[in-house]
Amino acid sequence: MSRVDISHTFVRTPGRDPEDDRLLALLVTTWVLVTGRVPPDRPFDELSADELFDFWADDQTAEV
């Protein structure tokens, strides 16, 4: 498996709790490892609803 850099998805927002950033990093990294999906090449707060859905959708439950 090739190494994927997903650091672009994390943006430090002034005033936001650093624990939220750590949780986001954990969830995104876990989802990348589980699904093999790579998030779009910009921060999550700049993604459209469709892009977010495409990244986070669970293929195994989409058919239900």
Dump pLDDT digits (tens) for 26-48: 998 999 998 888 888 888 888 89
Is the pLDDT reported for residue 3 higher than 70? no
Which of 41, 42, 35 shows the shortest CA–CA distance to 56? 35
Is 2 inside a domain boundary? no
Is 13 inside a domain boundary? yes
Is 53 inside a domain boundary? yes
Measured from the Cβ of residue 41, the count of other Cβ atoms closer than 10 Å reads 9
Q: Which domain holds residue 27?
A: 7-62
Is 1 inside a domain boundary? no
Is 38 inside a domain boundary? yes
> Bigger pLDDT: 10 or 18?
18
Stretch 14-37: mean pLDDT: 86
Is 34 inside a domain boundary? yes
Number of domains in the chain: 1
